[in-house]
Chains A and B, each alone.
Chain A
Amino acid sequence: MLALALVLTLTPGAGSSPGWRPGLVVLRTALLTAAPFWVFLLVLHDVTTTVAIGLRITTMVASFVWLVAALEPARLVEAMVAAGWSASLAYLFGATLSAVPVLKARAQRIVEAQRARGLSARGGIAARLRALRALALPLVLSALHEVDERALALETRGLVPGIRRTPLAPPPDTPVERAARWALLLACLFALFRRVM
């Protein structure tokens, strides 16, 4: 599974632009995210167990990072609505996937604003910690503030529980894709059954 995840992350066009670079960025993000888990595992377990659990965690992280990089949240929402899911639930999934790039862009703006006011993230650990605090506080506060305004905006734009949204341009869902989905679900159930039995 890890091999599959890594292949997918390195697939040209895994990100939003063609070529290998987006895939490498995704892979680097996945490995950096999984790295702390490896450290903790190594502290707690022997090498064999660390490798066994670490590979599973890395597979999960790589799969999720690849999903976030490759899947347009808007397409997911359209596909879920077309498949009969609740629009609110579909939006919840889509908004969760789109939260990472949104927060990243906002963090970048905050860093630029802090730099313009003379705060440098370079230097020793103390300087970096000061810069981190100057980033984290406005990032968290602005995200919390935006949640309120976004709730009002979505409500006024008709995204309320119980609506029957009209799918505008649902992505095509071929019989092969449907069969692949069922096959994956059955494979998961089979693996679970084998594990339990």
Chain B
Amino acid sequence: MRSLTLEGVSFWYPATDSPALRNVSLHVARGEIVALVGALGAGASTLLLVAADLAPRVTGGRLTGSAARHDRSGIVLPTPWTQASGMAFSVWDEVAFGPANLGWPTHEIARQVDRAIEQLELAPLASRDPVTLSGGELQRVIIAAILAMDPGLVLLDEPAAELDSDGARTLWRLIRRLAKDGKAVLLATSTLDALPEVADRVVWLEDGAIRAVGPPDLLADVAACDAGLGTSVATVWRTSGLPGPYPLTVAHALRRWR
């Protein structure tokens, strides 16, 4: 069952002549994790905004093609400090801001907020004032705030950018669990080393268009490594002048070595 279907989508930001997305066709099924990778400006963030129905509805601009969303979506943007509501006394209130806006009854809000706080391991911070949090803590709060709205389609733009390695590991585990619970996940990330364990499919974007789609093995592809989109292991293997195909992970490299 599909959660998101994009057919031949092109998108232009206001007052620009060249499209930020070019003829993009992509679907994301429930229970699937799709990762968008590419260089800066490749169009991954724009694709997420289109998937969230924010572009062009809120951003302005022009869209051609069709975008069908079959579930309610929630998007985590890359800068957590601009996503805080500024209207919360505590982390719990901040996470509850979205569910309250949906008009849910208070017992349902409390259930979803407590669940999201537990998922992001935020219980020790629940009574803290959001303005006193570090960037990584606030990022986890914002992710919890989106998950508390129980979206069927979870859109994540560089979700691990502000997190330390422990926080990132928790996040990747959570994303796998979300997919297992039937949610569709579309994420843009430059943390390529996590993708072999997390993503079901990888979409390589280049200059607003899809260059390749495939399993995470794509990140050990010669062309991807040439474009700087290989995993660390594949990149080191290639830099060392060892013959291809390049291994994707340390485990793959060990198997090749033996």
Interface residues of A (CB under 8 A from B): 72-74, 77, 87, 91, 94-95, 98, 102, 146, 148-160, 163-169
Contacts and interface: CB of A to CB of B under 8 A. Distances in A.
A168 B101 contact: no
A149 B81 CA distance: 10
Nearest to A102: B86
Nearest to A169: B93
B109 interface: yes
A99 B78 CA distance: 22
Interface stretch (B16-24, B52-60, B182-190, B219-227): B52-60
A73 B102 contact: no
A24 B86 CA distance: 26
Contact of B82 (A149, A155, A158, A159): A149
B58 A151 contact: yes
Binding site secondary structure of chain A: helix
B74 interface: yes
B127 interface: no
Contact of A168 (B73, B79, B109): B109
Interface of B: 49, 52, 54, 58-59, 73-75, 77, 79, 82-83, 85-89, 93, 96-106, 109, 145-146, 149
B86 A157 contact: no
A156 B75 contact: yes
A63 to B, nearest CB: 23
A160 B82 CA distance: 17
Contact of A157 (B59, B89, B97, B109): B97
B59 A74 contact: no
B79 A91 contact: no
Given A73-B86, A168-B109, A156 B100 contact: no
A158 B99 CA distance: 8
Given A149-B79, A156-B52, A77 B104 contact: no
Contact of A164 (B77, B86, B103, B145): B103
A97 B101 CA distance: 20
B101 A149 contact: no
Nearest to B73: A156
B100 A72 contact: no
A162 B89 CA distance: 25
A72 B87 CA distance: 9
A149 B77 contact: yes
Given A72-B89, A166-B100, A157 B145 contact: yes
Given A77-B87, A150-B82, A168 B96 contact: yes
